[in-house]
Structure 1
Amino acid sequence: MDVVLILDHGHINGGQAKVAIESALGLAARGHRVDLLAAVGPVDPRLEAAGIGVTCLGQPDIATATSKLAFTAQMLWNAPAERALARLLAGRDPGRTLVHVHAWAKALSPAIFAAIRKAGLPALYTMHEFFLVCPNGGLYDFRRHAICRRTPLSAACIATNCDMRSYPRKAMRLARHLLLEQVARWPEGIRDVVTISALQEEVAGPLLPEGVRLHRIDNPIAVADAGPKPAGAAGPVTYVGRLSTEKGVLLFAEAARRAGIAPVFVGDGPEAATLRDRYPEAQLLGWRDAAGVREALRAASALVFPSIWYEGQPLTVYEALALGTPVVVSDACAGCEAVADGETGYWFPSDDADALAERLIRLRDPATAARLGAEAHRRYWTRPLTLAAHCDRLEEVYGLVLREAADPAAMRAGGPRLAPVA
């Protein structure tokens, strides 16, 4: 096949880019022609080394933009990205070409969907977040620190300042969403959406346009099997990720204090200073590279994933399980789909510090942590989320989308909205 991948960043700066770039490498290794369009550099050197064609526009994102006014225009409609994608897609065979969008909201803008629609090539979108259905991308009210249940673009949505920074930025995102729907007209170019959890299908599925078909494809997890942990191994309870309110880091710190446990945080973010001031017993290790994260997860007696907003398919939860580390996870996020409550870790009611503390107290017993960790390792490796399994499923879904594009009547005839998982 001829695959064109689209994402904001040409290097790994988070889960979206990691999945896109690893899948590009996996598909290229199987002999598919792969091209990649990104707005922001630098470019991962493995891509060109693997024979993948890379178009990087060298544009800024919100963190690197020197002119906020110019970047606002880019976020609303990135005309250079539209033109570059149009050139990249021109002349391709619709019988074997598949356009796959992984990320657009940090730099590329709705303009790429206009280029896809005009090209008329089969296309699909992986819903790593919720920007297709929600202006702020999270179905979350950052002001009230709560999941948002308002209908996107309803009067209540428009009137609510849910943005983490300001209402003018919310207004910009509302305008961008209108451009996505009314000008780019994304559903005319993309009729297939990849989901990565049942939670996404439950909360976002009803908000998608009629006729959009959903396909489940698990993210690949790049962890080698290190075997079960040695008997008697113990370690701290650990959090890995961005230190922000919606991730539940303050909740974890408070619960750990109530449980009489000193928590460890791997990562950085806006709540780092608050954690240091309010919880001096907490150990903040800062960011770690991939090897450092795996080392921290392997050394932990448990990973705590206390997110109070929706999460698509948190990679660290699966990485911890693969390394034989049990997971304590909020029941509000998709991470709980990976954890068997009481068998490979624990669920706790979202935003409930006392309930989380009670689970942490259970894990103070080394035998309990060892039992949960051993079962976590055993279950994960009975069906690991490898890159090979991810590419197998990609090829299956790509083939389905290409066949239906060749025979549109087949889809109009009434296939299931949620495509079955092989």
Structure 2
Amino acid sequence: MHVVLVADHAFINGGQAKVAIDSALGLAGRGHRVTLFAAVGPPDPRLEAAGIRVVCLNQPDISTARSKLAFAVQAIWNREAARRLSEELGRVDPRETIVHVHAFAKALSPSIGIALRESGLPLLYTMHEFFLVCPNGGFYEYPAARICHRTPMSRDCLTTNCDARSYPRKLLRVVRHLGLETVARLPDLFRHVVTISDLQERAAAPHLPRETVFHRIANPISVPDAPASPKAGGAFLFVGRISTEKGAPIFAEAARRAGIRPVFLGDGDQAAELAARYPEATMLGWHDAAAVQARLRAARALIFPSVWYEGQPLTVYEALACGTAVIVSDACAGREAVEDGETGFWFRSGDADALAAHLRRLADDELADRMGRAAHDRYWAAPLTLDAHLDRLATVYDAVMREAAAARLARGAAPRGRAVAPA
């Protein structure tokens, strides 16, 4: 099998790119031919070492663009990405190739849809966020700090400022989404869509064609197995971006009401304000992956108070794998990993008093130990390893390619090199 992975970044800068690159390395390790097509470099050196062909356009993203205006044009419609992807897909054998898109919204743009459609190749899209159906990618109103239930691209949507920065930036995203829907027609193009949580599928499905086929493939979690640690003296720990949508202020306030000291591992736009308002809080900044896992193993509980949907919050699964209970907001996808009352607690999203009540409960060492052991045992009964991810991926690839092969037979054999586009 030849797998062409499409992503914004050729290096790990977050969860999306990590999943794409880890799966690329894993697929190559299983003997598949792998190509990674990306806009932003430099490429992860492990890719070339694994024999993976990397096509990197060396374009900027928003963090590296010298001209914000030029990048806005690129983000709306990246002509170079469409041209180069078309060239790349024109060289492959359609009988053995599948194209798996992981990301497009941060650099590649919806323009890649033109190349994908023209190729006629079997396609799969992993929905790491909601950009396929929502202009701001999150079903979330940043200024109002609440989940958005509006119909994307409706009048109500268009007149609402939901962007984290400004309404003009929202309008740029609306223009991009208009191109996504009417020119690239991405929602119609991706018949097969991978989701990473039940909540994500429920939120996206009403805005996609009825014919869309959903596949559940959990993201892999990289945590070594080790016995659960005793929780006496462990911290109530927040890990991640310290921001409003992640619920950091709710944790800080709940901790004060519960009379415990909150510990924050990470950074973000709310960090300085929270440190000033809650001097009892411990701010540890960012740590590398090994140090984060060490902190999780020693923690009494992970607090995950996110007030938006999330996709599949990896930190929640990492905590469970480390043998640590999780207190999670009931509005986010993280709750799907937590058995309420067994491996942690759910609390009403945005309710500091409800969270404070669970913090007081888990101040009990015996309960924290019991929940930690249960979290560890239940996670490791069916761990989200890279091998499990690749096994599921292979099953889905096989189904998508078989469907494409049947379609080719129905319309006549396609020539080698470029497939005949479906009617």
Distance 1:84 1:119 in 2: 12
Distance 2:379 2:39 in 1: 35
Deviates more, 1:204-213 or 1:121-130: 204-213
Distance 2:331 2:187 in 1: 29
Counterpart of 1:190, as a letter, is F
TM-aligned CA deviation for residue 410 of structure 1? 11
Structure 2: segments with no counterpart, 5+ residues? 411-423
Alpha carbons 1:8, 1:104 under 8 Å: kept? yes
Q: Which residue of 2 aligns with 1:13?
A: 13
Q: Which residue of 1 aligns with 2:202?
A: 202
Deviates more, 1:153-162 or 1:34-43: 34-43
Alpha carbons 2:231, 2:368 under 8 Å: kept? no
Q: Per-residue displacement from partner, 1:218-247 (whole Å, max 9, x unpaired)?
A: 110011101222x45531111111111100
Distance 1:250 1:187 in 2: 36
Distance 1:238 1:169 in 2: 34
Q: Which residue of 1 aligns with 2:420?
A: none
Alpha carbons 1:40, 1:59 under 8 Å: kept? yes
Q: Which residue of 2 aligns with 1:306?
A: 305
1:193 alignment partner, SS class: strand
Distance 2:189 2:377 in 1: 42
TM-aligned CA deviation for residue 408 of structure 1? 3.4
Q: CA RMSD in A?
A: 1.4
Alpha carbons 1:117, 1:188 under 8 Å: kept? no
TM-aligned CA deviation for residue 187 of structure 1? 3.7
Q: Which residue of 1 aligns with 2:321?
A: 322
Q: Per-residue displacement from partner, 1:312-371 (whole Å, max 9, x unpaired)?
A: 110010000000010000000110000000100000000000000000011111111101
Q: Percent identity?
A: 65
Distance 2:233 2:28 in 1: 41
Q: Which residue of 1 aligns with 2:86?
A: 86
Answer yes or no: is 1:71 the counterpart of 2:79.
no
Q: Which residue of 1 aligns with 2:45?
A: 45
TM-score, normalization by structure 1 = 0.95
Q: Which residue of 2 aligns with 1:34?
A: 34
2:284 alignment partner, SS class: strand
Distance 1:243 1:119 in 2: 42
Answer yes or no: is 1:275 the counterpart of 2:265.
no
Q: Which residue of 2 aligns with 1:403?
A: 402
Distance 1:390 1:410 in 2: 30
Distance 1:232 1:322 in 2: 15
Q: Which residue of 2 aligns with 1:349?
A: 348
Q: Which residue of 2 aligns with 1:240?
A: 239
Q: Which residue of 2 aligns with 1:122?
A: 122
Counterpart of 1:264, as a letter, is V
Alpha carbons 2:162, 2:170 under 8 Å: kept? yes
Answer yes or no: is 1:191 the counterpart of 2:191.
yes
Alpha carbons 2:219, 2:384 under 8 Å: kept? yes
Alpha carbons 1:122, 1:190 under 8 Å: kept? no
Counterpart of 1:306, as a letter, is P
TM-aligned CA deviation for residue 407 of structure 1? 1.6
Q: Which residue of 2 aligns with 1:419?
A: none
Alpha carbons 1:117, 1:190 under 8 Å: kept? no
| CA 346–120 in structure 1, closer or farther in 2 if over 3 Å, else same | same
Distance 1:167 1:132 in 2: 20
Alpha carbons 2:110, 2:180 under 8 Å: kept? yes
Distance 1:204 1:264 in 2: 34
Q: Which residue of 2 aligns with 1:359?
A: 358
Distance 2:27 2:231 in 1: 41
- Counterparts in 2 of 1:213-292, with a 5 A limit? 213-229=213-229, 231=230, 233-292=232-291
Structure 1: segments with no counterpart, 5+ residues? 412-422
Distance 2:120 2:283 in 1: 49
Distance 2:76 2:299 in 1: 43
Q: Per-residue displacement from partner, 1:281-316 (whole Å, max 9, x unpaired)?
A: 111111111112111111211000000000111001
Deviates more, 1:52-61 or 1:24-33: 52-61
Counterpart of 2:322, as a letter, is L
TM-score, normalization by structure 2 = 0.95
Q: Which residue of 2 aligns with 1:417?
A: none
Alpha carbons 1:268, 1:286 under 8 Å: kept? yes
Q: Which residue of 2 aligns with 1:170?
A: 170
Distance 1:286 1:114 in 2: 42
Distance 1:232 1:285 in 2: 20
TM-aligned CA deviation for residue 409 of structure 1? 9.7
Distance 1:128 1:289 in 2: 22
Q: Which residue of 1 aligns with 2:380?
A: 381
Counterpart of 1:54, as a letter, is V
Q: Per-residue displacement from partner, 1:155-210 (whole Å, max 9, x unpaired)?
A: 10011111111111111000000101111122453211000011011111111122
TM-aligned CA deviation for residue 80 of structure 1? 1.2
| CA 189–202 in structure 1, closer or farther in 2 if over 3 Å, else same | closer
Q: How many residues align?
A: 410
Q: Per-residue displacement from partner, 1:366-388 (whole Å, max 9, x unpaired)?
A: 11110100000000000000000
Q: Which residue of 2 aligns with 1:418?
A: none
Distance 2:26 2:97 in 1: 17
Counterpart of 2:34, as a letter, is V
Q: Which residue of 2 aligns with 1:139?
A: 139
Alpha carbons 1:305, 1:327 under 8 Å: kept? yes
Counterpart of 1:284, as a letter, is M
Deviates more, 1:401-410 or 1:55-64: 401-410
Distance 1:339 1:188 in 2: 34
Distance 1:29 1:232 in 2: 38
Distance 1:241 1:62 in 2: 21
